């Protein structure tokens, strides 16, 4: 890496999409950002925003047969802005990798052995790791000489104590099949818990934080002194909070019941719990804005939306209680991601009635809109309640740059 190499390209490769951002690590400035969708589906779409020049978003449509074609198209867009992948200023590419198992506790420079290890983890994340691997292979082929770093969604949670990570099932079976709580959204939980400490003017080692990452997927974590001690997602991202389309916590016997009594197949149950449950299962909508609109409109339809909202809030409160007990002392609760950052009524409802736990929300502060981390609790509250916008791309870029510039 040359002394002038200060840029990091962050790639988040999904099964039919690639999200990317190019950042300058001198100040964290975003130089370009974009998204390729519908890769391999006839008409693919690339939306590229050249942030460095303040240019307009450029959208192109065309057939991109695979990730290689998609990344080449991204490279061409970047090159058109003088930010091509061949630039000596590019220090590294950082890849989001969903599952790192117990093997990867830190961001890791990718070589053949690391790639093989990530492949070995595919059975634990069959929907995600294969796409991440394809993104890595393609990027390595385009720039074989450039350091590429894997940043794992599970890594932040590997500090969980054994009693939090273990399911109470037969130990030999669990170990043979690597069944345990891994947790996800780790990059976000790491970033937000650190930012929350900074908002309080403290070092992360000094504070205990409950992070509520509430997006379409949702997870809670208990972070003690900067280390994760528990998190709500488990072997897969299905466990825990109510989500847009996922059930979260459920009696596992429901799955046997659906198979035995409703005659559903394994795949049908999988689809029901992952795609047709959560908010969408409860009321037909997974967008919190639409749910609020229906509640406000009232009537029978509003009642249905209200039930979905109430189930969501009830689950959140249960986790706030559980993680308060796990942490012993809570200094802050941080709301983040699409719902957590934007849905003020939801934050108010989640914290309502928790005064005895030291938690309260100030209505005016809660309603104020801002992109900055901010407190929404009144001064008298023992626990700081905060809204802390997450930035997984920046966190991946920072972890990547720290590793390659060390
Ligand atoms: P994410 O997965 O973090 O991108 O979050 C996406 C979700 O955030 C959407 O499905 C919406 O439910 C929610 N969301 C986004 N904007 C708002 C808003 N202004 N008010 C309420 N919910 C929002």
Residue at 316 is within a domain: yes
Domain boundary among 93, 123, 152: 152
Q: Give the model's pLDDT for residue 293.
A: 97
311 and 373 within one domain: yes
Task: Give the position, in ligand 1's atom list, of the atom nearest the Cα of 346.
Answer: 21
Tell me: pLDDT of 15 over 90.
no
355 and 214 within one domain: yes
| Binding-site residues, ligand 1, Cβ < 6 A | 215-216, 244, 286-289, 337-339, 342-343
Tell me: pLDDT of 257 over 70.
yes
Whether the CB-CB separation of 211 and 223 falls below 8 Å is answered with yes
Residue at 270 is within a domain: yes
259 and 343 within one domain: yes
Tell me: pLDDT of 127 over 90.
no
DSSP-assigned states of every residue in 312-358: HHHHHHHHHHHHHHHHSS--EEEEEHHHHHH-HHHHHHHHTT-GGGT
How far apart are alpha carbons 406 and 397 in whole angstroms? 14
Tell me: pLDDT of 3 over 70.
no
204 falls in which pLDDT band (50, 70, 90)? Answer: very high
Tell me: pLDDT of 234 over 70.
yes
Q: What is the CATH number of the domain that holds 373?
A: 3.30.420.40
126 falls in which pLDDT band (50, 70, 90)? Answer: confident
217 and 115 within one domain: no
358 and 222 within one domain: yes
The domain total for the chain is 2
Q: Give the model's pLDDT for residue 14.
A: 87
Å from CA of 338 to ligand 1 middle: 4
Q: Which position has the token pair 């847009």?
A: 244
Å from CA of 363 to ligand 1 middle: 20
Task: Give the position, in ligand 1's atom list, of the atom nearest the Cα of 216.
Answer: 2
Three-state SS at 226 = coil
Residue at 306 is within a domain: yes
218 and 135 within one domain: no
DSSP state at residue 155: G
How far apart are alpha carbons 68 and 4 in whole angstroms? 28
pTM greater than 0.85 = yes
The tens digit of pLDDT for each residue in 332-371 reads 999 999 999 999 999 999 999 999 999 999 999 999 999 9
Å from CA of 215 to ligand 1 middle: 6
Residue in 12, 237, 280, 287 to alter for ligand 1 test, most ligand atoms within 8 A of Cβ: 287
Domain boundary among 152, 186, 213: 152
388 and 241 within one domain: yes
Q: Which position has the token pair 């659906």?
A: 258
Domain boundary among 113, 134, 152: 152
Residue at 170 is within a domain: no
Using CA atoms, how far residue 135 sits from 80, 97, 191, 259, in Å, is 22, 10, 24, 36
Q: Which domain holds residue 79?
A: 7-152
92 and 206 within one domain: no
Task: Give the position, in ligand 1's atom list, of the atom nearest the Cα of 287.
Answer: 12
Q: Whose CA is nearest to atom 8 of ligand 1?
A: 338
Active site (annotated) includes residue 371: no
Residue at 168 is within a domain: no
Residue at 302 is within a domain: yes
Q: Give the model's pLDDT for residue 105.
A: 96
Task: Give the position, in ligand 1's atom list, of the atom nearest the Cα of 279.
Answer: 12
Residue at 159 is within a domain: no
151 falls in which pLDDT band (50, 70, 90)? Answer: very high
Six token digits for residue 77: 């867009």
383 and 300 within one domain: yes
Among the listed residues 24, 86, 145, 153, the single catalytic one is 153
Residue at 398 is within a domain: no
Q: C-alpha dihedral over 362, 204, 207, 336, to 10 degrees?
A: 40
């Amino acid at each position: 890496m040359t002394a002038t190499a200060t840029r990091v390209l962050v790639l988040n490769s999904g099964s039919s999409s690639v999200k990317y951002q190019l950042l300058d690590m001198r100040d964290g400035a975003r130089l370009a950002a974009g998204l390729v969708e519908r890769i391999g589906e006839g008409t693919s779409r690339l939306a590229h925003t050249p942030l460095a020049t303040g240019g307009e978003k450029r959208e192109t449509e065309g057939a991109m047969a695979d990730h290689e074609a998609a990344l080449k198209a991204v490279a061409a867009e970047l090159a058109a802005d003088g930010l091509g992948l061949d630039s000596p200023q590019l220090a590294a590419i950082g890849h989001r990798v969903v599952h790192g198992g117990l093997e990867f506790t830190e961001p890791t420079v990718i070589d053949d052995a690391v790639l093989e290890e990530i492949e070995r983890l595919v059975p634990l994340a069959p929907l995600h790791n294969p796409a991440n691997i394809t993104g890595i292979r393609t990027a390595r082929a385009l720039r074989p000489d450039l350091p590429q770093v894997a940043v794992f969604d599970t890594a932040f949670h590997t500090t969980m104590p054994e009693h939090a990570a273990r399911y109470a099932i037969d130990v030999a079976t669990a170990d043979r099949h690597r069944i345990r709580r891994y947790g996800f959204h780790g990059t976000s939980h790491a970033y937000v818990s650190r930012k929350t400490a900074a908002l309080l003017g403290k070092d992360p080692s000094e504070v205990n934080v409950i992070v509520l990452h509430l997006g379409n997927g949702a997870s809670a974590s208990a972070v003690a002194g900067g280390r994760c001690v528990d998190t709500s997602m488990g072997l897969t991202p299905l466990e825990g909070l109510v989500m847009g389309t996922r059930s979260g916590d459920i009696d596992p016997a429901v799955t046997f019941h659906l198979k035995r009594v409703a005659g559903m197949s394994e795949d049908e149950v999988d689809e029901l719990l992952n795609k047709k449950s959560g908010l969408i299962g409860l009321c037909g909508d997974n967008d919190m804005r639409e749910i609020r609109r229906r509640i406000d409109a009232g009537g029978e339809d509003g009642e249905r939306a209200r039930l979905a909202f109430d189930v969501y809030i009830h689950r959140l409160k249960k986790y706030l209680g559980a993680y308060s007990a796990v942490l012993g002392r809570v200094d802050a609760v941080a709301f983040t991601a699409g719902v957590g950052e934007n849905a003020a009524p939801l934050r108010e409802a989640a914290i309502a009635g928790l005064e005895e736990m030291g938690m309260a929300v100030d209505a005016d502060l809660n309603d104020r809109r801002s992109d900055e981390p901010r407190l929404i609790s009144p001064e008298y509250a023992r626990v700081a309640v905060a809204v802390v916008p997450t930035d997984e791309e920046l966190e991946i870029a920072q972890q990547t740059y720290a590793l390659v510039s060390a």
